[in-house]
Chain A
Amino acid sequence: MASKTLLTLREKKSLAALAGVAVISPFFYLNVLSLVDRYMSPGDTFVFVPHKHLKVVAEKEQTRIFSDPIRLIIPSLLINASVESVGLDEKGVMKMTEDPNNVEWLNISSRPEEDGNVVIAGHYGWKGSTPAVFDTLYKIQKDDIVYVEDSSGAITPFVVRKTERYYPDSFAKDVFSSGDSGTHLSLVTCEGSWNKKTGSYSERLVVFADKE
């Protein structure tokens, strides 16, 4: 189990950030505890899935199977949401569910750790008395960390690079494909003024983040 306990400096930093946020945020603390619980085993002090080591294994055996994302965590905005899987509608537009609490992952986009763009969208605005999950996404800052957990339990950290605004009908190629060999995350939500007639906002906000 040596590889499990040997963390790189970068991973230690990620953990420190995670721990720091956990301490200052009692709300978030519970979630971290549940994650810690999941990877704790008797005799270990703290067992974290070291994704860098997984990658080495992958290069050697190349039988890597990537898993769908199931949870999105943005400590700086106190966001911790379940991820649902969605496809495209008949017009080729990414579908959304009506649940204000969850975010949606485009199931033909990349999976966490896989090369390409992991595309995750969430609602903006309020549904009744509930603020939608990405109602505060516009507050995100460059270098904030976004964690995506996949169904295998692996957690991938992404660092925010920039935010961009698009018109709703843009051909936003960069959101869906990067053209390079890195793993990226695109968080999509709405912004601008609400149009009652169309039931849509005037802009789309996209947060671009890169795998740490």
Chain B
Amino acid sequence: MKIFKGNVVLVAVVSFLLSASVVSAASVVLLGTADSFAVLGGSTITNTGTSVVTGNLGLYPGTSVTGFPPGVLNGIQYVNNASAIQAKADLTTAYNNAAGQTPATTIATELGGATLLPGIYSSADGTFGLTGTLTLDANNNPDAIFIFKTTTTLTTAGASVITLINGAQACNVFWQVGSSATLGTSSVFKGNILALTSITLTTGARVDGSVLAQNGAVTLDTNVVVKSLCAGVSAIPPVVASSGNRHGTINVVKRVINDNGGSKTIANFPLFINGSSVLSGITNNFRAPATAFAVTETSDPQYTQTFSGDCDSSGMIGLSPGDNKFCIITNNDIGTPVTVPPVPPLIDVVKVPNPLALPSGPGAVAYTYTLRNIGTVPVTNVTMVGDTCRPIVLSSGDTNNDSRLDVNETWVYRCTTMLSATHTNTVVATGWANGISATDLASATVVVGTSAVPPLIHITKTPSVLTLLAGGGSVTYTKKVTNPGTVPLNNVQVTDDKCGPVKLIFGDINNDSKLDPSETWTYTCQTNLNKTTTNIAIASGEANGLTVRDFAFATVVVAENIPGLPNTGFPPRGVNIWGIAALLSLLVVGTASYLVYKKKTA
């Protein structure tokens, strides 16, 4: 009882202290379409070294984006086009909104050593600097906003750090910088920098947030910039089902098919969950259980929109604790009908963590991602978006160094991270060919703190044809299900959203009804298609109390125009004068010979 009373007193004291130091409430700075960008510039974007940018990269005005590669962009680059122009316009709006928020609390220029609560802050001399550590405390409100305003510069020292505590999220931190921002060597920065002029990240600086420069350059040097998305809850990593788990994840995956002359890409369709912007392939955490999340997008009248995967046909998705759900949106262009169908790409990715379990507690896990082209055309613009392990580095496979995933090429990527709790993460691979995107995803769970080994499952799907002439025809999908893990899988099931029944042909060699790591179970499914179709096969299996799933996508393009019948005619056989002459002469010679013969014998 004494302890209980003590706690009450402590809570009361803390509450008093907090309320005493409460500053003016800031409201969220809406970034609009700029919200999908990790880097946005207004003159040039220059990178040195192996920077990794996760999120989109945009430039307007200006056209000079240099240093990618060796820099890696896990996102889409928009240079001097409509998307970049819109993002820059939205950035101006956001900048003005942040600059205009009042009343600001004036604090010291040097932020090092401070712990700040949510609010609007400015400094007396119009500039902020950070040496050491700045701590931002959200006071257990994951929606709490921090706004820092300068009339001139923002400068952080080498190795300086911003720490977020009690639910503070980098997505909710905004730095409105009146001129330019410079982040020090190997510093760790949190939040969105909205600078009027330029932004320079010196060697090794890391930003969880975004660097958005309105009029000037963005300069990078061996940095990590990760566009940090707001989740409904604080940054709790995705987890597997376990008692006491109160969260689930939703990953929205976008596919675009331009089989009728369209040219839109993934970023032309901004994605939202319950109105909040999300990125394709990025896992988002939500409180669960929840009955209805609405997945939406900024649609395009020239494209059809189809929802599939775990969401229903209108994009609604429910979430139970421990769920890792995927909502797939496929956009297909409505354009000029074609006679010769473009060949769609087909890729396959599998991810294997090592080790699968960390029974004695936190430790390092190395993920190996194997990406294959299982189609018939080379795949370009390959991106690998991982939700928690970064950076994902291409280790081998592009043997001819053409940056294309050629047919039958196998690219191996690697990523290492520290895990302190049981964790499931996902990678989404995307590539393009002939205006059509291919996607595959792979999830893997690593168990921390118990010796139970989690299962893994992998499915590949190959259609018998990738294209059909107008009118369509029969397609047989072959699905191969394997077990990249170490424990046999029970209750293996394979479904397909647009083909049934899915029949197991063979593969259970020892007839134990378990998918063993050495086995490949082959399934087929036949259907007739009369229009371009993307379908999704889902394989699931169970072991050690955990259920695992894998997805496989395939697009078959059906042309709309019927080919014309060929002109197969030569002229009919005419009267051949020479032929008649030859016959006549033969007749004459024959008759003459006969007459001569008759005369002789007479």
Contacts and interface: CB of A to CB of B under 8 A. Distances in A.
Nearest to B527: A181
A173 interface: yes
Nearest to A183: B474
Interface in A25-79: 59-62
B570 A125 contact: yes
A126 B571 contact: yes
Contact of B478 (A62, A104, A126): A62
B546 interface: no
Interface in A192-210: 194, 196, 199-201, 204, 206
A181 B465 CA distance: 12
Contacts of A10: none
Interface residues of A, number: 58
A108 B505 CA distance: 29
Given A94-B565, A115-B474, A180 B522 contact: no
Interface in B490-545: 505-506, 522, 524, 526, 528, 530
A117 B341 CA distance: 16
Interface string A173-187: 111111111100000
A87 B340 contact: yes
Given A60-B505, A181-B526, A200 B569 contact: yes
A199 B567 CA distance: 9
B563 A93 contact: yes
Contact of B565 (A116, A181, A188): A188
B355 interface: no
Interface stretch (A11-19, A128-136, A140-148, A151-159): A128-136
Which of B472, B478, B568 counts the most chain A CB atoms within 10 A?
A: B568
Contact of B568 (A87, A91, A179, A188): A188
A123 interface: yes
A93 B568 CA distance: 12
Contacts of B476: 115, 181
Contacts of B572: 125-126, 194
A196 B569 CA distance: 11
B564 A93 contact: yes
Contacts of B462: 62
A109 B469 contact: yes
A109 B470 CA distance: 11
Contacts of B339: 88, 92
A199 B472 contact: no
B11 interface: no
Interface residues of B, number: 41
B561 interface: yes
Interface string B561-587: 111111111111110100100000000
A125 B574 CA distance: 10
Contacts of A174: 471
Given A176-B562, A177-B472, A123 B478 contact: no
Given A87-B340, A178-B473, A181-B474, A121 B564 contact: no
Contact of B570 (A121, A127, A179, A180): A127
B468 interface: yes
A123 B528 contact: no
Nearest to B479: A62
B470 A116 contact: no
A98 to B, nearest CB: 9
A160 interface: no
B390 to A, nearest CB: 36
B579 to A, nearest CB: 8
Contacts of B472: 177, 179
B573 A204 contact: no
A92 B561 contact: yes
B464 interface: yes
A190 B568 contact: yes
Given A59-B524, A104-B566, A173-B562, A179 B464 contact: no
B123 interface: no
B284 interface: no
Contact of B566 (A94, A182, A196): A94
A168 B530 CA distance: 24
B439 interface: no
A122 interface: yes
A180 B563 contact: no
Contacts of B341: 108
B567 A92 contact: no
Contact of A126 (B506, B568, B573): B573
Contact of B569 (A59, A117, A125): A125
Contacts of B562: 171-173, 176
Q: Which 7 A-B pairs have the closest CB atoms?
A: A177-B471, A93-B564, A125-B570, A92-B339, A181-B474, A94-B566, A62-B478
5 contacts: A109-B469, A125-B570, A126-B571, A176-B471, A201-B568
Given A115-B473, A125-B573, A179-B530, 5 more contacts: A104-B566, A108-B340, A129-B576, A180-B473, A181-B473
Interface of B: 339-341, 462, 464-465, 467-476, 478, 480, 505-506, 522, 524, 526, 528, 530, 561-574, 576, 579
